Chains A and B, each alone.
Chain A
Amino acid sequence: MTDLWFALPVGVQDAAIALALLLPALGIGAVALRGFRVGPLLRALLRRQAWISVVFTALIAVSVALGAALIAQERGLREGTARAAEKFDLVVAAPGSEITAMLAAVYLQPADVPLVDGETYAEIVAHPRAELVAPIGFGDSWQDAPVIGTTADFAAYLSGRLAEGRLFARPYEAVAGARVDLSVGETFQPAHGHGDAAQEGMHDVDYEVVGRMPMTGSPWDRALLVPIESVWEVHVLPNGHGPDWDRVPGPPFDPAHFPGTPAVLVKADSLGGTYVMQAAFTDGETMAFFPGTILARLHALMGDIREVMSILAVITQVLVTAGVLAGLTMLTRLLARRLALLRALGAPRRFVFALTWSYATTLIVLGAAIGLGLGIAATGAMSAAITARTDILVEARLGWREVHLVAGFVSLTAALALLPAWLTMNRPVMSDLRG
């Protein structure tokens, strides 16, 4: 039996769970409504209490949206940050905070970090398991786009195939990220610094865009990639090569003329090689770390927060449900005269029960459905905002977890709605009829 279950595709399992969660509500409905036609009176009640019904539905919708959005958003963020770090196997930096180094190297959030010197850089390059080693250089920007110095090989590795043009082959050529508003052939002059602190006109050089990267879903989409040598030159530093350099950018660099790099981006020959290199460069002089591992640790931390958020979402939901039930109980009091009339005419108590229950459940189901839609819209908007600010592509889609949450909510509240329904069933007919 369990084997059979695990043999099912995940989508089928998820759909089955959602159905199973809805089953109690459907079951209650089938039993409660059996033999009755509540439709016309249900519509009459909804119309009679139109405003209250709308407010209740909205209340439920907002709480459901909140729960669904929290979950979808958290997942989208986790997937997005992981995707952005995918290409970064190993980062070697001067000892310090791994997170700061990772934020700088992977997510292009520069900070003042100590530099790795030329000797160490040469050691990393010389390591037998190293396949691709690249320095990184920050400091300048063009409009909102950071100008990042690195090597053409790394740019090629990061982008896969270029969307357009070619890689840089001379010091003042650039490859633009997919979200940078520059096309091949255009030129730009970098400003010193970033954002509001950027100073225009400090660097009297022009870069020419020779290629454009495809979308990577990472902050590198907003970056302008240029040869690291040009970044060094612009900042009046040694350019990484001896005096007889042929001005073709890229390795090998001369340790004696290497101004230092805040982080060294490394790709080893294999997963095993990555571990070997990580061990080799974790010593007093450097630290080597896997961005993926750091992220996983962060996510694990966020996982705890996620649990807390899920519990909060459930608590909110339960509180809203309790509020809705209290409201429904009062609402059914407003309906007491109509319900008493039905019983005076001879309607079975179970009919009054079915009518009240379906009234409550209609509001619940409607609210949950609207809430799910609202949740998706809210996550979409939040994701877009995060993507716009961080350039980490956050895609928040409706997932099964949210569907399960909502299905569980519907069943739970539908079951709880039996309570006010049961209360109406036992009210005195004549005194209610007098109103």
Chain B
Amino acid sequence: MEKEITLKINGEEYTQKVEPRTLLIHFIRENASLTGSHIGCDTSSCGACTILIDGKSAKSCTILAIQAQGKEITTVEGLATTEGVHPIQEGFKENHGLHCGFCTPGMMLRAVELLEKNPDPTEEEIRWGISGNLCRCTGYNNIVKAIKYAGAKIRGAELPSTEPVFVE
């Protein structure tokens, strides 16, 4: 019952035969050998498998590879260019936005769409915006800072301080 599908991941075209039940996350990790996107919960709760489909953030553990037929996928491996890292990657690096890093690829892809829609989000908008992504390490504060930083970078505004903030 295999069907041939063609889709683009990070600009590269993949044409492969898959069973319709193949999940997109498995296609990305196993068929395309791009293991940056993670599987955390496998139940559309944690966001570790978040990728972009035609620019929209999506949980690839709850989408069939065949549903992505003809679409353009972006994973964390596609964020950096020859010019350097993506502003969101710089934001995470400068603000210590990760500890173990398991949630990070999904968090960054989600943030890319969030900033695409609104490059100057408030803290509340950022927290609602990443409500589908769980992080068990950072406590989120540095992730919020990282996204603010990336927004400023994208807007060409003054970069916010990367000094740690101590909560009283």
Q: Do A and B bind each other?
A: no
- B residues near A (Cβ < 8 Å) are none
